[in-house]
């Protein structure tokens, strides 16, 4: 986990690391299931008392990806935003890879929250 404020230093490394794990599991050949620990911030940045939010398998935090690269994002928010963007991008990449790979394992993700 990184709270570096530079998206170019954090996001590619998170994506590459995740894909390397999936490729290694595929090459092993005996792996039946991979569980990726993501984050609730990969789905959304919760707003306190914001009723009616529906989260499903198609909910992604694209806002954090945009904000991570934006020069308009306040510097004090950058580390958290970049972290959220890295979790979003790594999980998107994992599902995209799994959709197109000929692998014999099931991919699951869990999105714990920070309490």
pLDDT, position 19: 98
Question: Can you tell me the distance from the alpha carbon of 66 to that of 94, in angstroms, rounded to the nearest whole number?
Answer: 19
- What range defines the domain where residue 103 resides? 7-47+55-110
pLDDT, position 47: 58
DSSP string covering 9-68, please? HHHHHHHHHHHHHHHHHHHHS---EEEEE--GGGT----TT-TT----TT---HHHHHHH
Q: Is residue 78 part of a domain?
A: yes
Q: Is residue 1 part of a domain?
A: no
pLDDT, position 3: 82
Q: Decide if 33 contacts 104 (C-beta within 8 A).
A: no
Low-confidence ranges of the chain (pLDDT < 70): 1-2, 46-50, 114-115
106 token code pair: 């099931």
pLDDT, position 49: 57
pLDDT, position 44: 81
Q: Is residue 23 part of a domain?
A: yes
59-74 pLDDT per residue, tens: 899 999 999 999 999 9
Q: Is residue 2 part of a domain?
A: no
Q: Is residue 115 part of a domain?
A: no
Number of folded domains in the chain? 1
């Amino acid at each position: 986990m990184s709270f570096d404020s530079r998206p170019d230093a954090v996001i590619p490394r998170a994506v590459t690391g995740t894909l390397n794990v999936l490729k290694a599991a595929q090459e092993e050949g005996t792996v039946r299931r991979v569980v990726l620990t993501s984050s609730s911030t990969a789905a959304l940045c919760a707003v306190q008392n914001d009723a009616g939010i529906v989260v499903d398998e198609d909910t992604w935090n694209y806002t954090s990806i945009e904000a991570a690269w934006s020069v308009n994002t306040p510097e004090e928010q950058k580390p958290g935003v970049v972290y959220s963007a890295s979790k979003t991008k790594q999980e998107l990449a994992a599902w995209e890879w799994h959709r197109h790979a000929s692998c014999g394992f099931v991919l699951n993700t869990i999105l714990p929250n920070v309490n």
